[in-house]
Structure 1
Amino acid sequence: MTQERPHRRLGSRWMALLFVAGVALLTLPDLVGLDVVTPFAQLVALRPYLLVGLVILVPVLLVLARRVRGAVLAAAGVVVVLVVAAGMIAPRAVSTTPVRAGGHTLTIAAFNTYSGGADVGEVAALIRDERPDLVSLVEASTTFRSKLAPLVEPLGYHLVTAVGEPDGDLGGVTAVVADRLGDVRSSTYIATPFPRVELEGGGLGELRFVAFHTLAPRRGDVPQWRSDVSLVSQWCAGPQPAIIAGDFNATLDHSVFRSAMAGCGDAAAQRGHGLTPTWPTWLPGWLGPQIDHVLATDPIVAETFEVRDIAGSDHRAVLTRLRIPDDVMPGIGNPSPPQ
């Protein structure tokens, strides 16, 4: 008996350490680069909710400590994982980015129409009520554009559409551009599988706007998704100030997304809304990942951020007002004060 006890203790410690390693792997796969393969690419998007499970798991392990060897060690290890993960997530829920004085605002909206199934009237109402300067509509090809154009063109907008490979509205990206921006030049790029629209010139000055969509990281599609997300670096790390808006199918918990957006700020995170779900709408409004984003290169900073429900889509629309320095883009009308 006395000779078996040290072996039992050693075995229980190893079991506890293996358990903690499994918990860490599920919760923090991005720290070792595993979040670019299935199933970690999908699981890491749910990290804020995995942390809730860890909070519950710790007292359960402590209760089991009376009967299960190594449970206390396992609980301590889970607490370490919890602290590390919480430290990565918490800054997104706090508005700490200062808004600089001067300059002027640019209002941006982004929305996935769910293969054109979104209520066109509600999209037009959002544009009419908020008067955004630029809107990125993904999964919106010529069919959706033909329905929306008559509703927003009388409001002072024109539309630019890029058509990709998938049939119907799924394969389209449409940018809605305020006429007050002047003679803005547009370029369409037919990438695989989704296209994009890029705008520059006119009232945008030195600024480039990109209406962007990536493939979702479904099983078998993760390599293409990773390639799509990596494209963001060409604008965030490029020499030209840029705003990239749309459905990125990635959260700030994905290492490939964080790496690609180096040089950009995320509008939601800057205003403490980095945990606000944008998909799917059939879950409660507090549950789900944030995969729709508006990114902008420094020193552009978000003043406000909010999400809106629009019938017919499984995504929520995002709306943000960005503070643009005068040396990046000339003012449109009178500068608005910081909010």
Structure 2
Amino acid sequence: MTATEDAGDTVSMSGPTPGRDGNRILLIVLGAALAGLFVFAVLRLVVSGVLGVDGNRYTAAALALTPFAVPFGVVLAVLAFVGRQRLIGVASALLALALVVPLVPRVVVDGGPAADGPGLRVLAFNMYFGEADARRVVDLVAEHRVDVLVLTELETDTVRALTDAGLPELLPHRISRPGAGGVGSALISRYPLTGAELAGPSTFEQPAARMRVDGVAVEVVAVHPVPPVTDARTWRSELGALPEADPDGAVRVLAGDFNATADHAAFRDLVATGYVDAAEQRGRALVPTWPRDRFGPPVTLDHVLVDTRATVDHYSTHDIPGSDHRAVLAHLRLPTPTAGVP
């Protein structure tokens, strides 16, 4: 072997090592993904979870994606272990496990109090600027014997379509505030309604009413705060201006498009005033309600909240053509008449 050949061999042996470079790239990619997951976990568990701060429009939007962070963490952990990046794998698995904790109550059925008063069936639905199929809404009301219908994004033309479809024959009483551009809302009921001012100032209409259900005093609010991606400050203010539950007064029900999920501190603060989320009590709070048949990660924005003195016998979601939301239906069991306002 000549000196020249020796030199050539030496040069070739000191050249780039594809396997080593591939490992370096894998480490960078996995490390960046882990850093993103860590930042998200801090946002959800510490900033929102402990400090009660949802932040601006971007962080509020990100918080709604918490259910997706868990599978992301699991996939990241698997990829890291396969790539022999054990430290990243362990860290990813631990972060995914931590993010599972706030999700567990949403899939566990909670029996609630032993309420044995009259039943109340509440259906809440976003009409998507009045584009939803009015006939299907009326059919759903008839099929499930709905007692109270809460509609948001209600247009004047939609009111006429609902009337033509026979809604007044099923639910003759209403407080309706239709409006262009999705601002309108309505409360439509089997029971006579008395208007009330229970919600604070809001961008969209949020009518409220009092009624009596077989001797039990009930107050219902149609909920529709502005989306946080439009104005996070106003969104927090409008959620915060919704009425707290009143343990000594009428049984309160808040229903509609909250533009918030259980991963938002503003929503959890409202629930903590004395409500239960009907979906969570039935273990179905991870069932998405928006967007339907449209692009975007599915999240749970529509809710029925009820006073903790009541219980939830049934909860379900329903597709209605024309809307980007699903309708949410809750069968409530109210406390006995003596537990409400006489």
Q: TM-score range by the shorter chain?
A: 0.7 to 0.9
1:52 correspondence with 2:71: yes
| Cα deviation digits, residues 189-240 of structure 1 (max 9, x gap) | 783311111111443743211111011121x5111112122223x3236753
C-alpha separation in 2, matches of 1:120 and 1:190: 29
Cα distance, 1:237–1:114 mapped onto 2, change above 3 Å: same
Question: Residue 321 of structure 1 aligns with which residue?
Answer: 331
C-alpha separation in 1, matches of 2:109 and 2:185: 31
Question: Residue 112 of structure 1 aligns with which residue?
Answer: 126
Contact 1:206 1:328 in 2 (8 A): no
Partner letter of residue 159 of structure 1?
R
% identical equivalent positions: 28
Contact 1:211 1:244 in 2 (8 A): yes
1:276 correspondence with 2:287: yes
Cα distance, 1:57–1:329 mapped onto 2, change above 3 Å: same
TM-score (norm 1): 0.81
Question: Residue 131 of structure 1 aligns with which residue?
Answer: 145
Question: Residue 73 of structure 1 aligns with which residue?
Answer: 87
SS at match of 1:35: coil
C-alpha separation in 2, matches of 1:269 and 1:288: 17
Question: Residue 184 of structure 1 aligns with which residue?
Answer: 193
TM-score (norm 2): 0.80
1:37 correspondence with 2:46: no
SS at match of 1:39: helix
Per the TM alignment, residue 159 of structure 1 is displaced from its structure 2 partner at its CA by 2.1
Contact 1:207 1:328 in 2 (8 A): no
1:95 correspondence with 2:114: no
Summarize the alignment of residues 1-339 of structure 1 with structure 2, pairs less than 5 Å apart.
Answer: 20=34, 22-30=36-44, 31-33=46-48, 35-65=54-84, 71-98=85-112, 100=114, 102-150=116-164, 151-163=166-178, 168=180, 170-178=182-190, 181=191, 183-187=192-196, 191-203=201-213, 205-218=216-229, 220-232=230-242, 234-236=243-245, 239-240=248-249, 241-262=251-272, 263-282=274-293, 288-326=298-336, 327-329=338-340
C-alpha separation in 1, matches of 2:328 and 2:285: 12
Per the TM alignment, residue 23 of structure 1 is displaced from its structure 2 partner at its CA by 1.4
SS at match of 1:196: coil
Per the TM alignment, residue 319 of structure 1 is displaced from its structure 2 partner at its CA by 0.6
Cα distance, 1:153–1:190 mapped onto 2, change above 3 Å: farther
Cα distance, 1:328–1:138 mapped onto 2, change above 3 Å: farther
Cα distance, 1:78–1:113 mapped onto 2, change above 3 Å: same
Point out where structure 2 has 5 or more consecutive residues left out of the alignment: 1-28
Contact 2:171 2:188 in 1 (8 A): no
Per the TM alignment, residue 36 of structure 1 is displaced from its structure 2 partner at its CA by 2.5
C-alpha separation in 2, matches of 1:236 and 1:17: 46
Contact 2:30 2:80 in 1 (8 A): no
Partner letter of residue 261 of structure 2?
T
Q: How many residues align?
A: 304
Per the TM alignment, residue 329 of structure 1 is displaced from its structure 2 partner at its CA by 4.9
C-alpha separation in 1, matches of 2:246 and 2:43: 25
C-alpha separation in 1, matches of 2:222 and 2:79: 47
Question: Residue 337 of structure 1 aligns with which residue?
Answer: none
Task: After superposing the two structures, state which structure 1 stretch, 194-203 or 322-331, moved more.
Answer: 322-331
Larger Rg: 2
Partner letter of residue 266 of structure 1?
D
Root-mean-square deviation (CA, aligned residues, Å) is: 2.8
C-alpha separation in 1, matches of 2:160 and 2:304: 25
SS at match of 2:146: coil
Point out where structure 1 has 5 or more consecutive residues left out of the alignment: 1-14, 66-70, 332-339
C-alpha separation in 2, matches of 1:235 and 1:210: 11
C-alpha separation in 2, matches of 1:239 and 1:24: 44
